[in-house]
Structure 1
Amino acid sequence: MSPATPIREPTLRLCRWTYAALLLFCAAFPARGDSSFLVNTVPQNLDNFYHDLRERVASCQHNLAGGFYSVDNGTNTTSYCTNDPHRPSIIYLSGGNGTLSNMDIDCDGVQGGSQDDGRCSLGRSPDYQDATAFRDVIQSYNVGISDLNTYVHPYVVFGNSGSKPGWRTFDPTEYGVRPLSVMAVVCPGNKMVYGIWGDTNGDDGDKPMVGEVSIALATACWGKNMTGDNGYDGMDVLYVAFTGKDAVPGKNGADWAAKDYDTFERSIQGLGDKLVQRMRAGAGGRKVTSSWVVAGGVFAGGLWLAL
C-alpha cells in the first residue's frame, strides 16, 4: 500500500474556511418545518441526548411513572422519565426500546387571529376544550389575553390527571416542573421548538394519552398538513420539561400577547437556550462536541482550526 499523500496547505486552509462557513450558516439560518414558522436547529448536547435515547434498548434513565399510551391503538409502554430520581433537572417521555413519543394535535384554549386557518376548528378536534389547564395563571399575568391560543402559543400537553378507577396519572409539579415553564421539543430532521407547558391530559378519553401539542408547534415541525384530526405518527419525538423556577418566563419573560407564532417563539428562545445549555452531555455519557466561531479560527471538538 502506498503512503498517504499529505494534504497541501491551500487545501487544508480551504477546508477550514468551508467548515467555518457551514457553522455560521447553520447558526444564521435555522431549520424550518414550515416556511412561515420559525424552528431551531438542535444544539449539540441535546442532539446527543436525543440520539442516545434512540440508540438504547432501555431508553428511560429513571422511570417516574409508566403505563401511558402515545398511540390509540398502541401499547401502554410510554413512561415519564428523568435523569435523576432524587434531584431531577429534566423530565421526558420515552416509549421504551429506543422509541420516544408521537405528536398529536391539541386545539384547546383560545382560537382566532391572523394564523387561524381552520385546521384546529371544533369540528376537527373531537376532544376540544375551551380552556387550557393553566388559564388562571395566564389571566393572573394581566397581559391582555384570557388563555393560550393554539395557533400562536407552542404549548405542550404534559402530565396526566383523572379519577376513573385504575386511571394512570402523573403530576409533573411533584418533581419541580412548573406551569407555563419552557420545554424543548425535538422533531426528526434536526428541528427543535421551544414550547410552553400549557395543558394536561385528562380522563375524557378511553386511555391515558401523551404526546400532544398545539397546532402552532406541530406546524413548525411538520408544516400545514397538521390538523386537529391529523398528527404525526412516528415514535421519535422528544419532549423535555425543565424543573425549577428559572424555567418559567413569568409575566415579563415572554410575549404572551403576541399575534403570531414566530413572535412568541423568539420571545422564549433566550430562556430556552439557557435551559438546554445546562443539560448534561447525553443519556449515555457520549462526549459533547461543541463548536464556536471565533475571530481568527474555529474551536471544534477540542481542536483549534486557524483560518
Structure 2
Amino acid sequence: MRNQVLLSALVGAAGVAARDVPSNVQSFYDSLKAKGACSNKLATGFYANDDGPNTFAYCGDHLSDYNVIYLKGSGSAFADMDIDCDGEQNGKGDDGRCGNSQDTQAITSFQDIVEGYKKGVKDLNAYVHPYVVFGNTGSKSGWKTFDPQKYGIKPLSVMAVVCNNKLIYGVWGDENGDDGDKPMVGEASISLATACFGTSMTGNNGHDETDVLYIAFPGDDAVPGADGANWGADSWQAFESSIEGLGNKLIQRIGGGDPGNGGGDDPGNGGDGFDDCEWPGHCEGASCSTDDDCSDPWACINGKCGTDPALL
C-alpha cells in the first residue's frame, strides 16, 4: 500500500520539474543524515569545498539492498552543488550566467555518445540538460579517483538529486578532473542548479551548503538511450520532464519497488514492495557481473540475474 500511494503521487506530479520529495526518498535522506559517515566507502578523501575537510566519499552502503550509490560526508553532511558549464557553450538557453565561470571545458565526458544519438545535438548543453558531475579522474601523484562504471553506473544514466526540499532528475554527464588543487565532489550543470535553487546560480556562484544528496543507479535499465529522452529539448524543463518516467521507476528501488532493479516484488502486481529472495539487491533481474552477484537459484546471464536468457 505504501508504494501504491507513492506511485499515485508520482503520476500526479507528471510534467512538474521541481517536485516534492516522495516519502521513501525523504526517509532515505533523513536516515543517511542521522547515520553520519557511510560504512562502505567505495572511494574517499574528497572535498566539497576548497577550505573544508576531505571526508567526502562515494558510498556503497545500500548497493546490496537498494542498488544505489551516493555521495556522503561525515556527520550530517552530504555534498554541495558547484556549477558546471561544460559542453555546448552557446545557443539554447544561454542567458549569460555561465559567462563568469573560471573553469569551463569545451566538451563533456560523454560528448561522443550524445553526438552518436543523432538527435541534432553534438554535446550536452549545461543550460538545457540537467546533468551531474559524478566520478573523479586524474593521474596526479596521490590524487583520489573514482570510476562509477566499475560499479555498473552507465554514462548518461538517470540520477536523482535531492536539493532544497525538491527531487530533480538529471543524467550522469560529466566527471571531475585533476585540473584543480584538490579532488572535488558535488557539482552539476547550471540548469540542474537552477531547478534546485533558482536563477541566482551562475558559473561562479553555486550552493555551498553540504545538504545535497546525489543518487546514482547502477544498471542498463537506468539509461534512457537515444530515444528515451528529449536530447534536442529547448529547455531544461522539457528535458527533465522527458526522463521523469524513468526517474520515477528508479527511485522505487529505495525501500522496495521494481524487481527489475533488485528492489523487491512489484507492488503494482500485488507484491508488498520488498524482496522475497534471500539476498536483497541480487534477486531476479538485478544487474550483475558474475554468478556470485545473484541469489540462488539465479545465475548472471547477459548482465542480469535470471534463469532464461529469453526472459532478460
Per the normalisation by structure 1, the TM-score is: 0.77
CA contact (8 A) 1:30 1:39 kept: no
Report the CA distance between 1:83 and its aligned residue. 3.2
Q: RCO higher in 1 or 2 (8 Å CA, sep ≥ 6)?
A: 1
Question: C-alpha distance in 1, partners of 2:36/2:69?
Answer: 19
Q: 1:182 aligns with which of 133, 155, 158?
A: 158
Q: Rate the CA distance shift 1:29–1:202 in 2: closer, same or farther, 3 A.
A: same
Q: Rate the CA distance shift 1:233–1:53 in 2: closer, same or farther, 3 A.
A: same
Q: How does 1:209-248 map to 2 (within 5 A)?
A: 209-248=184-223
What corresponds to 1:271 in structure 2? 246
Q: Rate the CA distance shift 1:25–1:85 in 2: closer, same or farther, 3 A.
A: closer
Q: 1:53 aligns with which of 12, 21, 32?
A: 32
Report the CA distance between 1:42 and its aligned residue. 1.0
Q: How does 1:267-306 map to 2 (within 5 A)?
A: 267-280=242-255
Query: Which consecutive unaligned segments of at least 5 residues does structure 2 have?
Result: 1-7, 257-312
Q: Rate the CA distance shift 1:244–1:29 in 2: closer, same or farther, 3 A.
A: closer
Letter in 2 for 1:258: A
Letter in 2 for 1:52: S
Letter in 1 for 2:217: F
Q: 1:148 aligns with which of 103, 124, 131?
A: 124
What corresponds to 1:201 in structure 2? 176
Report the CA distance between 1:57 and its aligned residue. 2.9
> Whose Rg is larger?
1
CA contact (8 A) 2:66 2:255 kept: no
What corresponds to 1:168 in structure 2? 144
Letter in 2 for 1:106: D
Question: C-alpha distance in 2, partners of 1:197/1:48?
Answer: 24
What corresponds to 1:291 in structure 2? none
Query: Which consecutive unaligned segments of at least 5 residues does structure 1 have?
Result: 1-23, 33-37, 282-307
What corresponds to 1:126 in structure 2? 102
Per the normalisation by structure 2, the TM-score is: 0.76
Instruction: Report SS of the residue matched to 2:247.
Output: helix
CA contact (8 A) 1:152 1:264 kept: yes
* 1:137-165 deviations in Å (ceiling 9; x for gaps): 11111111000000000000000000000
Instruction: Report SS of the residue matched to 2:172.
Output: strand
CA contact (8 A) 1:101 1:234 kept: yes
Letter in 2 for 1:144: G
Question: C-alpha distance in 2, partners of 1:171/1:243?
Answer: 12
Report the CA distance between 1:263 and its aligned residue. 0.7
Question: C-alpha distance in 2, partners of 1:144/1:176?
Answer: 28
Instruction: Report SS of the residue matched to 1:67.
Output: strand
* 1:248-287 deviations in Å (ceiling 9; x for gaps): 0000000001111111011000000000012226xxxxxx
What corresponds to 1:115 in structure 2? 93
Question: C-alpha distance in 1, partners of 2:215/2:133?
Answer: 12
Question: C-alpha distance in 2, partners of 1:29/1:272?
Answer: 12
Question: C-alpha distance in 2, partners of 1:255/1:211?
Answer: 25
What corresponds to 2:167 in structure 1? 192
Q: 1:66 aligns with which of 44, 58, 69?
A: 44
Report the CA distance between 1:86 and its aligned residue. 6.2
Question: C-alpha distance in 1, partners of 2:10/2:153?
Answer: 31
Q: Rate the CA distance shift 1:31–1:186 in 2: closer, same or farther, 3 A.
A: farther
Question: C-alpha distance in 2, partners of 1:67/1:199?
Answer: 20
Instruction: Report SS of the residue matched to 1:48.
Output: helix
Report the CA distance between 1:39 and its aligned residue. 1.1
Q: Rate the CA distance shift 1:245–1:87 in 2: closer, same or farther, 3 A.
A: farther
Is the counterpart of residue 43 in structure 1 residue 22 in structure 2?
A: yes
Question: C-alpha distance in 2, partners of 1:103/1:146?
Answer: 25
Considering only aligned residues, what root-mean-square deviation do their CA atoms show, in Å?
Answer: 2.3
